[in-house]
Amino acid sequence: MSWEQLIGQKPARTYLQAALAGGRLAHAFLFAGPAGVGKRTAAYIFAQTVMCHQRPPTGIQPCGDCKSCRWFAARQGALIEHPDFISLLHPPKGDKGVEKLVGDHEPMIKLETVQHFCEKLYRSPMAGSRRVLIIPEAQRLCKGQSESANAFLKTLEEPPHSALIIMTTSHPEGLIETITSRVQLVQFKRLSADEIREGLKRITKKGDEDLATAAMLADGSLGRGLELLGGDLKTWRSGVVRTLSEIQPRNALAFGIGLWTVADMEGKRLFAQKEAAGKTEADEEESDDSGGDDGASDEQVKTEAGWKRYVFRRLLELVEVSFRDALVVASSGDLSQAQPLLLQPDQQKLSQTLAHRFGDEGCQQVLLAIQEALEAVQLYVRGDVVGRALAGKMADCMISPLVPGRP
């Protein structure tokens, strides 16, 4: 691996490379930022560079040829056959502490898991001068009664000289202050549309128009951009666009119920699919940088109900994007002026249709209702109730019914 594999994130990369070059490494780092922006990719590259046996004179890149780098090059998902690398996602071969490790979407990191990896940190390195631990979505240490966080604090306060701890989090507010005050924070930002387009171009062979649309809708996440190009999100978007283009006061309630019905069916399907196939460790490793299981970065995505909420949120977000574009068109009154600002440039007709049907004020009210719906889902309000409430508000906001032959 090399730093060239990290898309964007120039400030974070510059900071980490300066620390490597100057030999001023803190004992613990916290990589914080939205899901799917490269935190875990950076963590692996940083770990490989620190553990490299023959770093070039600049000190900021791994050599790629030493035994340590070859262990990283042979990585399969989260499995790295490096005796000094500690992963919570996959145990080394022969490790009897399998049950003490943690999956990527477990809601919390248990006390026994913390005790397990802290004990391993205190062992002397076997192949170099460093032992490295990566803790994905570290805010899970602070769930429940924070027993895990308190147990981890002793190691964080008095770490072994050879230890390097790298934590990643998409919810830094979930970490207690006694942890955040003892680590070096490295901030990761949402990727720009150009950066996402560049990343997608490296990975896929899609046309420029598809790449541009996915980059605009990705909301700063490379993972969501990938999903838009070929995953479930692309299929869901087509359904939302088709249904919104036909929405009228008389079928608005059916629209709201339909959103939850789709979420219910798709949530069951995704849960059954994961249960049947089993979650591979490669999936687990990619989850931070590609937006999670099928884009599911939410740590609650483990149960069938969690998958339903995940799908419902994604559907609501797709509706929100459509109404954002409609508001731009309704506010400008001129599609030619609004066009460069549209998040869905391939759905200009839908934007015009919704702008005509709801108007400026109506689009604003619908966007507020969608935000309320998203918050309600986070609070575990029943999906059918949320869908009906949203649809009712949408019906109230319509100013123009569907007229055949008109947008």
Residue located via tokens 């914080």: 32
Q: With bands split at pLDDT 50, 70 and 90, how would you rate the model's confidence at 363?
A: very high
In Å, how far are 18, 45, 216, 271 from 38, measured between CA atoms?
A: 19, 11, 18, 26
HSE-up of 59 (CA within 13 Å, CB side)?
10
From the list 355, 369, 357, the residue with the least C-alpha distance to 251 is 357
Phi and psi torsions of 143, nearest 5°: -75, 160
**Three-class secondary structure of residue 381 per DSSP:** coil
pLDDT of residue 335: 67
List the CATH code of the domain at 3-187.
Answer: 3.40.50.300
Q: Which two tokens stand for residue 98?
A: 């399998």
155-206 pLDDT tens trace: 898 888 889 999 999 888 888 999 999 999 999 998 888 888 888 888 887 7
Q: With bands split at pLDDT 50, 70 and 90, how would you rate the model's confidence at 400?
A: low
- Give the residue extent of every domain in the chain: 3-187, 231-397
Q: In whole angstroms, give the CA distance from residue 346 to residue 209.
A: 9
230-287 pLDDT tens trace: 678 788 888 999 999 988 888 888 888 899 999 999 999 988 887 776 544 334 333 4
Chain-centre distance of CA 285, in angstroms? 12
In Å, how far are 67, 117, 169, 185, 338 from 165, measured between CA atoms?
A: 21, 11, 13, 12, 47
pLDDT of residue 278: 56
